[in-house]
Structure 1
Amino acid sequence: MNKSKLIGVGSSAPRTVLHIANRPPLDGFEHDINRPFQLTEAADIIQKTGNHWRKVFSILAKISFALFDTQCKTWQEYRDTKLLTEDGFEYICFSELKDTRSQLDLTKHTSVSITCGFNYAQTQLDTSSLVSHHNFEKLKWSEQHHCLVTPYFDWRQLNNEMLSIAINIIKSKLLIGDEPSHLA
């Protein structure tokens, strides 16, 4: 079997894997890469690219901060110092979703995939098998891919109320005990 190359950035042992259709528009991202961020690289990308990647990184940081012991005082501190580093809990994947779980050696209940945006999700998985959350039609689960499909990571599309539900879904799939959620 010919596996395609894993392309993305983040921890080599992630608990969450974000699948997203685009990459930061910076040198170093135009080619296929597979590496963790360096300390403060997320903050540097935000400074250089503006609001779009601030939203994506902020929502991803809120998810990790709510779920894991980040050893940071705020989700903003986590975003700006540890997000997508080897000390972080996440990986952003630019590869096909079907190849990711085997290449990162991900197992059920230790990691969850998140596919960001429904148009992109339609290119990555069979959307007819998705199960919608009972209160939020825009949050959908794929048991086959152990993947949560969400609206694109933008405050208008994925507000704090919906993000809180998404975090609870991820928590239940990771079998994490009841811990306080830090979304403020």
Structure 2
Amino acid sequence: MPNPPLILASEHGKLHPDIPDLIRHNGNHWRKIFSILAKLGTPADCRWQDYRDLELLHRHEVICFADGLLPTAQWHLVAGKASWQRLGFDPGTFSPLDDEGRVLIRGNILLTPYPDYRQFPNRTVEQVRSRLER
């Protein structure tokens, strides 16, 4: 992600972020981002809304704003062309994952659209989820 959400001083140093609180203080833009991330990672026995509000970023996911990949990550979802460029990825060296070519894959790296409903619709979410579950 190119820009982190604003984090209140009371949230700094917490092991698990309070997603509803982050949404309240950062607005609809971050609600969309967290919702798409939740849809990608929600277990089959859970509603994505509950997962977003109670468990997202507590166990399996990390949002990174660094200029490099985390070496221990199982998957890397690089969101948005600005992030692809900042990290030096050439989309031409990746293969399309989905029908529309919105998501590109090479190894365990996925170049995804920015997590916004228009760019990352539910159909794309399902195609990425399917790949992550393999």
Q: TM-score, normalised by structure 2?
A: 0.85
Correspondence for 1:64 among 36, 41, 47: 41
Match of 2:4 among 23, 32, 36: 23
User: Match of 1:46, SS?
Assistant: helix
Distance in 1, Cα, partners of 2:22 & 2:98: 36
Structure with greater helix percent: 2
Alignment RMSD (CA, Å): 2.1
Q: What CA distance in whole angstroms lies between the structure 1 residues aligned with 2:98 and 2:37?
A: 23
Q: Quote the residue 2:62 is aligned against.
A: 91
Percent identity, please.
Answer: 28
Query: Quick one: which of 74, 79, 96 aligns to 2:47?
Result: 74
| Matched-pair contact (CA < 8 Å) for 1:36–1:84 | no
Between structures 1 and 2, the one with greater strand share: 1
**Structure 2 gaps, min length 5:** none
Return the match for 2:122 from 138, 160, 164. 160
Stretches of structure 1 that go unaligned for 5 or more consecutive residues are 1-19, 173-184
Q: Which has the higher contact order (CA 8 A, sep 6+)?
A: 1
Residue deviations 1:87-127, cap 9 Å, x none? x32011111234x11xxx33xxxx21100002211221331
1:1-184 alignment, distance < 5 Å? 20-28=1-9, 36-38=15-17, 41-65=18-42, 68=43, 73-85=46-58, 88-98=59-69, 100-101=70-71, 105-106=72-73, 111-127=74-90, 128-133=92-97, 135-143=99-107, 146-172=108-134
